[in-house]
Amino acid sequence: MTTDTPASAGWRPHPRYPDPLIESLDPRFDQYRIFSAAVERLHTGCRWSEGPVWFGDGRYLLWSDIPNNRMLKWEEETGAVSVYRHSTDFPNGNTRDRQGRLVTCEHGGRRVTRTEYDGSITVLMDNWQGRRLNSPNDVVVKSDGSVWFTDPYFGLLGNYEGNKAESETPAAVYRIDGETGEATLLADDVLGPNGLCFSPDESVLYLVESRGQPYRKILAYDVVDGGRAIANKRVLIDAGPGGTPDGMRCDVDGNLWCGWGMGSEELDGVMVFAPDGTPIGRIRLPERCANVCFGGAKRNRLFMAASQSLYAVYVNTQGVAGG
C-alpha cells in the first residue's frame, strides 16, 4: 500500500530558518549546519521505527517497524511509502554489505540474515555453539566484508517486538568472517549491547551499553588482530540521568550521530558527539529517535527512525561508507 507524502508527513509545513530544532552545543558543530535545511517528517504511522538503511542505487530507504513485523520503503523520487516486506520475524537493525545486499537483524527469527539479489534469504548466523541467539539488534559491515552485530535479550522479553522465550546464550557482540562465515564472540561483558559503528578508519568500534550502571554508556574499543578482534574497552560517553543512546552512525570527520531519548521529552532526538566524546550538537524531535543512517546522493542526508515516524535533515557532512 502506498501513502501520499503530505498526508503521511503532516508536520511543520512552515519551518523557520535556521531551524531552531538543530542546535549547536559547541562551536565545532556550526560547520555541519546548513542554514536553510530543516528537519522533515517523511512518514508516520509506525509502532516502533528502527534500522534505517539507504539504497543509493535505487534512491530509496528501508526501515523496520518492529511490532508491526514489517519493513517499509520510502522513495526519494516521489516520497511514496510502501510495505517492502511483511512477516519478517520482527526485523530490527539493517545495513548493506559491501556487495550492496541487505543485512538484517531479526528478533523473532533470532538470527542475522542477508537478502540476496534475487530476493532469497541467506541465514548468516542463528546460533552460537549450538545454542540459539537471543534477539540480534544492530549490525554493521566492515570493509573486509565481516559482519559485526549485537545480540541482547530485548526481543525475548515479550510478544510485542519478538517472541517471549528464555535466553540460551549470553548477551554478546559477534563477528562473522566475510570469507569463511566463521563466527567469533567478541564480547559478552556488555550490559545490553545495542547500537554499534566504526570510526572512519575502522580502528575504533563504538558500542552502546544500553543497560549500563548507573547510566547508559557509549563504549569504545580498539580494533586489533588485523581487524578481527577488539581490545582496550573504555567509556567514551556516559549518558547520565535520562540519557538513552540507541543506534548510531559515524560521519567522515569521526563525529557520532546517536539516536537519543525516552528519559525526557527534552532529550528526544539525535545527539552529536565529537570523536573525543564531547557533545557538540543536537537535533530535537517530538519523538524518541531509535536509530539513524546517512543517505541521499551525497550521503549528506541524515535519516532518523523515531518511534512512530521517519525524519530527515540535510547536514554539511557525509556518513562513513558502509554504514
Pull the grid cell for residue 178. Answer: 566475510
Q: Please say whether the beta carbons of 161 and 66 come within 8 A.
A: yes
Q: Is 164 in a helix, a strand, or coil?
A: coil
Do the annotations mark residue 137 as ligand-binding? yes
Q: How many CA atoms lie within 13 A of 224 on its CB side?
A: 8
Q: Could you write out the DSSP letters of every residue in 58-83?
A: TTEEEEEETTTTEEEEEETTT--EEE
Q: Could you write out the DSSP letters of every residue in 222-244?
A: EEETTTTEEEEEEEEEE--TT--
Beta bridge partners of 184: 175
Radius of gyration of the chain measured on its C-alpha atoms: 18
Residue 198: CB atoms within 10 A of its CB come to 22
Do the annotations mark residue 246 as ligand-binding? yes
Q: Please say whether the beta carbons of 87 and 109 come within 8 A.
A: no
* 79 phi and psi angles, rounded to 5 deg: 80, 5
Q: Which CA distances in Å does 40 have to 45, 284, 303?
A: 15, 11, 10
Residue 127: CB atoms within 10 A of its CB come to 14
Q: Which residues make Cβ contacts (< 8 Å) with residue 179, sequence separation at least 6?
A: 145
Query: Looking at 89, 138, 151, 246, which residue is catalytic?
Result: 246
Q: How far apart are CA 135 and CA 316, in angstroms?
A: 35
According to DSSP, the β-strands at 60-65 and 70-75 are antiparallel
Residue 227: CB atoms within 10 A of its CB come to 15
Residue 246 among the catalytic residues: yes
Do the annotations mark residue 194 as ligand-binding? yes
What positions carry a catalytic annotation? 246
Binding residues for substrate are 137
> Per the annotation, where are the binding residues for a divalent metal cation?
50, 194, 246
Annotated binding site: 50, 137, 194, 246
